[in-house]
Amino acid sequence: MAKFAKRLQKIREGVDRNRLYSLNEAVSLVRDRAVAKFDETIEVAMNLGVDARHADQMVRGVVNLPNGTGRSIRVAVFARGDKADEAKAAGADIIGAEDLFENINSGKIDFDRCIATPDMMPLVGRLGKILGPRGMMPNPKVGTVTPDIAAAVKASKGGAVEFRVEKAGIIHAGIGKASFGVEKLVENIRAFAEAVIKAKPAGAKGEYVKRIAVSSTMGIGVKIDVGSVRSA
């Protein structure tokens, strides 16, 4: 415990927890303190002025990060026939129909994202109670229910990030790795923030983006001046 406290104190050195840093400054501070023995994920959190309990204030979407996420994403696809062949050619890790349904229904979920062709949704819909809480339920609004299965698989593999506001009005996502470097991380954060801003719901009133912060897996959060993100 003493060793952990000492490490945390060292990470906090030079960071004013009450100050709003420019995007570049914040990313540099977080990245410089990502000193774990593994390549830490850099995460962004946005506090929004919405009440997710109301349907007209739901914020949801998908964004293709210009520099990817640095994660190896396993993609499962519900498809048959030619569409199954397209998914395989595009790099899908798991492809199936009733057999995939049975695996998921029994609790075997060894993938990060689930995609389906429209004709498979009557089957996939029965998995709502399993996939829904995990944020994996295919949805046409974020491009995971589509006839263009190859493009969806390639997007998922290439850095597509889904986002959905939580009850407290917070959206967070991993937007890269510490090894990316400041410039690529800044580009990814701006792309992510822009997508969230564009997804502003009709029911949102007053200030939409209240706070933005960036952090690493084992590090502390650094607050960002919202204007430095928007001005890009």
Mean pLDDT, consecutive 10-residue segments, the chain of 232 residues? 58 79 95 89 95 90 90 93 96 96 95 95 96 92 93 89 90 94 95 94 91 92 91 48
pLDDT at 210: 94
Question: CA dihedral in degrees (156, 159, 165, 170; nearest 10)?
Answer: 150
What DSSP element (H or E) covers 214? strand 209-216
Other Cβ atoms closer than 10 A to 208: 16
Cα 213 from Cα 19, distance rounded (Å): 11
Cα 125 from Cα 163, distance rounded (Å): 20
Cα 141 from Cα 52, distance rounded (Å): 17
pTM, whole model, 2 decimals? Answer: 0.78
User: Which residue has 């499962």 as its token pair?
Assistant: 76
Cα 77 from Cα 99, distance rounded (Å): 12
Note whether 129 and 107 are within 8 A (CB).
no
